[in-house]
Amino acid sequence: MKKIFAVVMAVAFVFSVAGFAVAAEKAAAPAAAPAAAPAAAPAAEKKEADKKAAAEKKESDKKAEAEKKEADKKAAAEKKEADKKAAAEKKEAKKKAKAEKKEAEKKATAEKKAKTEPATPAAPAEKK
């Protein structure tokens, strides 16, 4: 009977030691998991922040490109308008110069004609 009691006590001792080992392992696992989680969390947050920054940069680049296109379009329209205005002014200046030249030629012709033609004498008085 002593032997049976000793065997039963040995088995109980082994089970209790095994139970304590399992309990210790379970207690250590949650402690290790939170320690790993905070280490993993910053990496995940950093990755998410990098993604967000990349998306914002892409959006910003897209907006800048659109603004540049709009500015180029506006500058082209302004240049076209300025060229049109300059062409109209040039045309007007040519027209004015041509009219002045024509007027000067008319005046010169009239002066030349006045110099070359003798003055018409007064009509002689009638004799009675």
Query: How much is the average pLDDT of 70-80?
Result: 95
Residue 128 is classified by DSSP as -
Domain boundaries, the chain: 11-79
- What pLDDT was estimated at residue 124? 60
Please give the DSSP secondary-structure letter assigned to residue 126: P
**Confidence bin at 65 (pLDDT 50/70/90):** very high
Which of 91, 126, 35, 1 is CA-nearest to residue 9?
1
Interval 93-102 mean pLDDT? 94
Q: Give 83 or 110, the one with higher predicted confidence.
A: 83
Task: Give whole-number Cα distances, 20 to 16, 26, 51, 72, 103, in Å.
Answer: 6, 10, 46, 77, 123
Q: What are phi and psi of 124, to 5 degrees?
A: -60, 150
Give the model's pLDDT for residue 26: 82
